Homo-oligomer: A and B are copies of this chain.
Amino acid sequence: MHHFPVRIYYEDTDHSGRVYHANYLKYFERAREHVLGAEELVRLYREEGYGFVVYKVEMSFREGAIFGDELDIRSEVRRESDWRIRFLQNVWRPGGTQAAVEGIVELVCVDRDHRLVKLPESIRSRF
């Protein structure tokens, strides 16, 4: 289980007073970069032209985060095949007894021309 903290600023909320629903996908992405290794992702992108692309998303929302919250993004990762990797990612509010938001995000890898490629060896060997 990987933990990643996200602080909620004005930019994250909408006029309902809660975090705008699409923003949780941003927090999931930030957390994934730390799970996969930000250095390695930058290297793969700059040197080899490989990027990760979201292929599938499922989210369910139980409770909305608010301004000032320090969220805990909890991620578990499983490689589904040589081509696809799957993250279970949940949002926990401070003092929460259950996840406020639950998500599943599946990624594939593409090259500079946006053609599907196998997951890079450096990723496959670790997950």
Contact = CB atoms under 8 A, between A and B. Distances in A.
Contacts of A38: 7, 68
B21 A9 contact: no
Interface stretch (A59-67, A72-80, A85-93, A119-127): A59-67
A60 B108 CA distance: 12
Contacts of A58: 57-59
A9 B30 contact: yes
Contact of A11 (B20, B45, B56, B60): B20
Nearest to A17: B15
Interface in A24-83: 25-26, 29-30, 33, 38, 41-42, 45-46, 51, 53-61, 64, 66-68
The count of identical subunits is: 4
Chain A residues touching B, range: 35 or more
23 contacts: A7-B30, A10-B15, A11-B26, A11-B29, A14-B14, A15-B15, A15-B66, A16-B51, A16-B53, A18-B114, A21-B25, A21-B53, A21-B57, A22-B22, A22-B29, A41-B68, A42-B67, A45-B67, A55-B60, A55-B61, A56-B61, A57-B59, A57-B60
